[in-house]
Amino acid sequence: MIGRLKGTLVEKQPPHLLIDVQGVGYEVEAPMSTVFNLPVLGQSVELYTHFVVREDAQLLFGFATREERALFRALIKVSGVGPKLAIAILSGIGADDFARCVNHDDSAALVRIPGVGKKTAERLVVEMRDKMRDWLPQEGGFELAGDAMAGSAASAIQEAESALIALGYKPVQATKAVAQAHKQLGSGSAEALIRQSLKSMV
């Protein structure tokens, strides 16, 4: 079991990351809440991880905090929720907002997340209620830590669209949301566009 990684951030193509740990490159998939807090390329990064072994693949998921990983592990125990959907949920809604949705029986808000249908949303509310009742907000845990992605506006838009599609949004939805985010922000990194797009869609 790989529980934690500490190394150099080599590549960042949300939601996929490549981290060099003493010469070994680990491919990691992370929710946007974690991606937003990553340093620039070439800097040291430390992630808490969850390792998944399947017949056709070995997958590594990374998280900025223990609490975020704990929420991910709780989500994948819900019937019908796999690792990919759990990552989409954590990317589409902050952990604190998710807790509020569950505690207030707001399944309608969860349905707006790609891949979450009405039945899945209702199941999440029911099965996660006890686990989220004592959830405490994390101070600054899910705030954007600066514009870490550099490049032209065109490349930022393309990266943002690719990230949203990888999270499960339809290409048309992604293009429209990113275009709207770019219009609202005027400019910005791919991370800023992704963050604004997710806000507008969820």
Provide mean pLDDT across the span 12-21. 93
Beta-bridge partners for 62:
49
Higher pLDDT, 138 or 59: 59
Residue 139 has pLDDT above 80, yes or no: no
Share of the chain above pLDDT 90, in %: 33
User: How far are the Cα atoms of 5, 6, 9, 27, 53 from residue 24, in angstroms, in the given order?
Assistant: 11, 11, 12, 10, 19
Torsion sign, CA atoms 32, 36, 42, 44: negative
Q: Which CATH superfamily is domain 4-63 in?
A: Nucleic acid-binding proteins (2.40.50.140)
Confirm whether 68-132 and 153-201 share one CATH topology.
no
Provide mean pLDDT across the span 108-128. 89
pTM: 0.68
Q: What are phi and psi of 26, to 5 degrees?
A: -105, 125
Q: What's the pLDDT at 114? A: 84
Q: What's the pLDDT at 145? A: 26
Q: What are phi and psi of 84, to 5 degrees?
A: -65, -45
Q: What's the pLDDT at 135? A: 66
Domain extent listing, the chain:
4-63, 68-132, 153-201
Provide mean pLDDT across the span 34-57. 91
Torsion sign, CA atoms 145, 30, 162, 43: positive
| 68-132 to CATH, choices 2.60.40.10, 3.40.50.360, 1.10.1240.10, 1.10.150.20 | 1.10.150.20
The mean-pLDDT minimum among 15-29, 63-77, 182-196 falls in 182-196
Residue ranges in 16-170 assigned as alpha helix (H):
32-35, 66-75, 83-92, 95-103, 107-111, 118-132, 153-166
185: helix, strand or coil: helix
Q: What's the pLDDT at 10? A: 96
Higher pLDDT, 122 or 1: 122
Average pLDDT, the chain: 82
Q: What's the pLDDT at 25? A: 95
Q: How confident is the model at residue 194 (pLDDT cuts 50, 70, 90)?
A: confident
Top-level CATH class of 153-201? mainly alpha
Q: Under 8 Å CB-to-CB from 65, ≥6 apart: which residues?
A: 48, 138, 141
Q: What's the pLDDT at 187? A: 65
pLDDT digits (tens, 9 = 90+) for 61-77: 999 988 889 889 989 99
52: helix, strand or coil: strand
DSSP assignment letter at 169: -
How many helices (H) does the chain have, and how many strands (E)?
9, 5
Q: What's the pLDDT at 191? A: 80
Radius of gyration of the chain (CA): 16
